[in-house]
Structure 1
Amino acid sequence: MPKPLNIVLLSYHNQNGGAGIACGRLAEALKKAGHQINYLVQEKTGNDESIALNNSPVKKAMRWLRFILERLAYLPFEKNKAVRFLFNPGKFGQDLSQHPLIQQADIIHMHWVNFGMLSVQNIKQLLDTGKPIYWTLHDMWAFTGGCHHSGECLNFQASCGNCQEFIKNPSTNDLSHQIWQKKFKAFQASNLHIITCSDWLKERAMSSSILKNQPIQSIPNVIDTEQFKPSDKGKAKKTLGLDPSKKHILFVAMRVNAPKKGFSYLEKALQGLDKTTTELIVVGNAQDLPELHLKAHVLGHISSPEKMIQIYQAADVFVTPSLEENLPNTIMEAMACGTPCVGFKIGGIPEMIDHAVNGYVAEYQSSGDLTKGLSWTLANAPEAAARHKAESSYAEAIIAAKHVNFYTHVG
C-alpha cells in the first residue's frame, strides 16, 4: 500500500446535490483505503465527519451574504430568470489558503465550490500555496466564462464572449469574456490537476483554452456497493405499497418540472407502454405533475438513503431522460441495486449504460426510442448485468485506488 496521504477535500455541501454526495462518498472511500481525510464544506447538514467552514452565526451570515453578492454581481447581465443559477461569476468567496488543515495537507482536492464558497481569486490563492491541487469537475464551470453547461456553444474553446445563452447584451468583451480572462490567468499553474467524472467531460476540458495544458484524468464517482445492493424485488414493492404483479419504472429528480430533466419526453414515451401492466414511480418535487398514461406513485422528496435504496430495489427499470448530464449518481445507485437503466445518448450516460447489456441508450430527445428502450429493458430484465457494472466500475476500492494513483504519479 502507498504511504497514507493527508488529503483535504473541499465541497460546497456534504449531502445535498450530486457533487456534494459524490465528494462525501469519495471521502469515505479514501478513508477506508487508509488515508487521513479532512472534508471542509461551505454548508453542512447531517452528522457525518465533514467540517463546516461557517460554524458560527457570524460566519453563517457571511456565507449567505457571499451567496447574495454572487447573484447580484450577475443580475445586471443575466439574460432571463431561467438562467439565474446556471451561471456563476466566481467573484465572491473566502480565502482558505491559510486554514490550518490546508497548510498541513499533502493533497488539496476541490469539488464543486461555487455559490460564494471560492472565487476565482480564492482558487488562485490555493494554487499559490504550491501544494498539489486536484479539482474534480462535476460540470464545465472551471473552463467556461461562467456557465456550468454550455450546451452546443463551443466558445470555451477560444475565449468566450458573445454569450448568447446567458448574457443579456452579448459582445466580444461581455461578462463571459471577462470571467474567461480571469480564469485563464489564474488557472495556468503547474500544480493544478484535473479530474473529470466522465470521458465526455474530459474531452470538453481537453478542448478548452483554459485547461488544455493541464493533466486531466477521467475517474468516475464512487458507490458503496455494500450499502447499495439488490434485494427481493417483490418484498420491496409490497413494503412500498406497490403491486408486485406490475412492472415499475422509476424517475428521480429534485424538481420534476426542471426543463433539463426531460420529463416531457418521458411523458410522451409512457404513452407507448401497456398501462394495465406498467406503473411509474416518481421521486422528487412533483408539483403540477400532468395527467399521465400510466398510474403514477408520487413519493415526494426522499432524504433517507435506506428508503431510497428500497425504492431502487423495487423498480424494474430506472429512467433518466435528462438533456444535460455528466455522470449521474442516480444511474450508479440504481445499477448497484440491480436495477437496469434507460437514458438519452448525452454526456456521460453512454459510458454508464452499456447499450442492450445493462439497459438501453436512447437517441437524444427521441421519445419513441425512449419507449423502445423501456420496453426492451422491461422485457429482458438485465438485473445481473446492471449490478456487475456497478461492482466492476464504481466500487469504493477501485475508485479510491484510481485517485491515489493520480495523486502519487502526477502530483
Structure 2
Amino acid sequence: MKVTLINTADAGGGAPAACMRLLKALQLQQVDVKLLVTEKKTSEPLVDTIAHSFTTRLKAKFNFFYERLPFIWFRAKDKSVRFAFSIADTGTDISNETDIANADILHLHWTNSGYLSIKNLQQILKTGKPVVWTLHDMWAFTGGCHYAGECENFISQCGNCWMLRDAGDDDLSHAGWLRKNEMLKAANNITFVTCSNWLAGVARTSNLLNGFRILAIPNPIDTSLFYPMNKTAARAKWNISQKAKIILFGAANIMDRRKGISYLVDALSNFKDNYTGTDDIEIVIFGKNKAFDTSLFPFKVYEVGTISSQADLAELYSLADVFVSPAIEDNLPNTVMEAMACATPVVAFNTGGIPDMVEHLQNGYLAEFKSADDFAAGIHYVFGTGNHNALAENARNKVLTTFTNEIVAEQYMAVYQNILNK
C-alpha cells in the first residue's frame, strides 16, 4: 500500500504538525508513505517538495502572494480575517508528480496559501485514484472561510459572508462555493475525515459534503516525545520559579482571533479578584506575539517566544500546573493534546473538538462557552480541588488510550484498506 500525504508545508502550524505526526505514525506501521509539500522546511527524508529549483521556489512564493495580497487589499473586511479566508484561485498542478503517480491512495490535508487551487484539487480528483481528505478546519465545505464563526450560510450555498467588505448574495464566498461544488463532481472515490467529532457533525450539515462518507479520526501524538518530565529540572532550565503555581498558554500566534486571548485576560482578572490564594500565580506564554501587551494579565508573565523543538514544548507543558485554552473556534488543537500527554490538566471552553480530549472534572475543566467567570472557576478547580495528581494522571491516560501513533495509524489503515477493497 503506497500512500501520498499532501499538505502545504511540513512545519509551521497545527496542520503541518499533525500531518507530520501521521506520516511518522504510518511509517511505524510499515506503510509505504510519503508527504508532498510545496516548499520543504525540514530534513525529513519522507518529505518531497514540488519546489525543486530556484524557479519553482520562486513560483511557490509568487502563488502565495498572488492569492493573499488581493484578498487582503481589496476583499477582507478587516485585519482580523486576512488569513481566515482562502480563495484558492492559484496554485500548481501536481497531478503528474511522481509521488502522485506512484501512490495507491492520495491523502489530502491542508493545501491552501497558494499550494493547490480549487482547479488543482479537481485535477487530483480526476486522476481516478482513491482520495482521503482530512479536514483540519471548515474550508473544504465553505465558500472560503476556514472557520465560519456563528455563520451558517455554508449549510446552503454561502454568500453574504461576514468576512468580506463587499458581502452579498453573489459575493466571493458564493463564487467559491460554486467552484467547489463543480470540483466535487469529479470525486468518484473520496472519503472525508475530520480530526474531531464536532467537525464531522458540522461537515454533515453542509450542502457541499452532503452524501459523502465522513469519518472522525483524531490526530496522533508521539507519547515518547510528549511525556511528563521532571518539573523541578524543567523550571530550573527555563528560569521559572519553583514555588509558583504556573499557568501555561500558547499558540502558533497568540493574537489569532480564534485563540481567544482577550477571554483569558478577563478570566484571569476574574480569578484574581474573586478567589483567594492567588499571590503565587505566574503565567508562561509561548508563541508568536507581535503586539499583545502582556501587562494586561494580572500576574507575572514569562514570554518564551516561538518554540519549534518538541522536546522544549514537552518541558514547558511539564513545568506547568495547568494549561489554558480560551479558544473560541478550534478543531482538535495540538496544544491541548500535547499538554495532556505531559500530564498537565487543561482548562478550556466547551467548544469545537476540545471535548474529544478534555473530560469535565476528570482530566481538566470545560468552561461555559465565552464565560470568563466559569473559566476562572475552572482554573480554581484545578488548583483548589486537592486532586491535582488524579487530574494529571487522567490527562495522560486519556492520550494513551485514544491518541497514540499506533491507535490513530490503525484507524487510517482501516480506511485505506476499505477503499482499496471496494
Q: TM-score range by the shorter chain?
A: over 0.9
Tell me what 1:385 maps to.
Answer: 394
Query: What does 1:4-153 align with in structure 2 at a 5 Å threshold?
Result: 5-49=1-45, 50-74=47-71, 75-153=73-151
Q: Distance in 1 between matches of 2:213 and 2:251?
A: 33
Of residues 219, 239, 242, the one that matches 1:241 is 239
- Within 2, Cα distance between the matches of 1:81 and 1:387? 38
Give the Cα separation in 1 of the matches to 2:287 and 2:23: 26
Looking at structure 1, the residues matched to 151 and 115 of structure 2 have their Cα atoms a distance apart, in angstroms, of: 27
Name the CA distance, whole Å, in 1 between partners of 2:252 and 2:91.
26
Match for residue 232 of structure 1 among 205, 230, 233:
230
Matched, 1:277 2:286: no
CA distance in 2, matches of 1:30, 1:254: 25
Q: Is the 8 A contact 1:275 1:293 kept in 2?
A: no
5+ residue gaps, structure 2, are: none
Q: Are 1:292 and 2:297 counterparts?
A: yes
Residue 190 of structure 1: CA displacement? 2.1
CA separation in 1, counterparts of 2:80 and 2:235?
A: 37
Q: Does 1:408 align with 2:417?
A: yes
- Structure 1 window deviating more from structure 2 (275-284 vs 255-264): it is 255-264
Alignment of 1:388-399 (within 5 A): 388-399=397-408
Q: Superposition pairs for residues 249-328 of structure 1, below 5 Å?
A: 249-271=247-269, 272-273=271-272, 274-286=277-289, 287=291, 288-328=293-333
In the aligned structure 1, how far is the partner of 2:262 from the partner of 2:80?
17
Alpha-carbon offset, residue 153 of structure 1: 0.8
Is the CA contact 2:225–2:310 (under 8 Å) kept in the aligned structure 1?
no
CA–CA distance in structure 1, aligned partners of residues 347 and 79 of structure 2: 31
Q: Deviation at 1:155?
A: 0.8
8 Å contact kept, 1:323–1:365: yes
TM-score between the two structures when normalised by the length of structure 2:
0.93
SS state of the match for residue 347, structure 1? coil
Partners of 1:130 and 1:385 lie apart in 2 by 45
RMSD, aligned CA: 1.4
Provide the rounded CA distance (Å) in 1 between the counterparts of 2:328 and 2:251.
13
What displacement does 1:386 show? 0.5
Amino acid at match of 1:27: L
> 1:205-253: CA deviations, max 9, x gaps?
1111111111111000000011111122222222222222221110002
CA–CA distance in structure 2, aligned partners of residues 119 and 378 of structure 1: 48
Q: Matched residues in 2 for 1:28 and 1:285: separation?
A: 26
Q: Deviations over 1:47-87 (max 9, x none)?
A: 11211221311111100111122124534333233322111
* Matched residue SS, 2:7: strand
- Matching of residue 182 in structure 1 with residue 179 in structure 2: yes
Give the AA of the match of 2:58.
A
How many Å apart are 1:24 and its aligned residue? 0.3
Contact 1:225 1:391 in 2 (8 A): yes
Query: Residues 151-210 of structure 1, C-alpha deviation per residue, up to 9 Å, x if partnerless?
Result: 1111111111122x1222222211111111110111132212101000110011111111
Q: How does 1:342-361 map to 2 (within 5 A)?
A: 342-361=347-366
Give the 3-state SS of the residue equivalent to 1:225 in structure 2: coil
Helix, strand or coil for the counterpart of 1:252?
strand
* Residue pair 1:9, 1:108 contacting (<8 A) in 2 also: yes
Unpaired stretches in structure 1, ≥5 consecutive residues:
none
Q: Could you tell me how far apart the structure 1 residues matched to 2:64 and 2:233 are?
A: 45
* Alignment partner of 1:203 out of 190, 201, 204: 201
Deviation (angstroms), 1:44: 2.0
Residue type of the partner of 1:270?
A: L
Among 167, 171, 176, which residue is 2:168 paired with?
Answer: 171
User: In structure 1, what is the Cα distance between the partners aligned to 2:313 and 2:31?
Assistant: 29
Determine if contact 2:36/2:99 at 8 Å carries over to the other structure: no
Distance 1:209 1:258 in 2: 28
Counterparts of 1:355-370 in structure 2, within 5 Å, are 355-370=360-375
Shift of 1:323: 1.2
What's the CA shift for 1:292? Answer: 2.3
| Secondary structure at the counterpart of residue 167 of structure 2 | coil
Find the residue that maps to 1:90 and give its secondary structure: coil
Q: Which amino acid aligns with 1:297?
A: Y
Question: Which whole-Å CA distance do the structure 1 matches of 2:135 and 2:330 have between them?
Answer: 12
The secondary structure found in structure 1 opposite 2:38 is: strand
8 Å CA contact retained: 2:130, 2:419: no
What letter corresponds to residue 395 of structure 2 in structure 1? Answer: A
Percent identical among aligned pairs is 39
- The separation in 1 between residues aligned to 2:255 and 2:14, in whole angstroms, is 18
CA deviations 1:10-45 (Å, max 9, x no partner) are 111101100000000000000000111111111221
Letter of the 2:302 partner, please give it. H
Q: Measured at CA, do residues 57 and 387 of structure 1 come closer, stay the same or move farther in structure 2, by a change above 3 Å?
A: same
1:374 aligned residue: 379
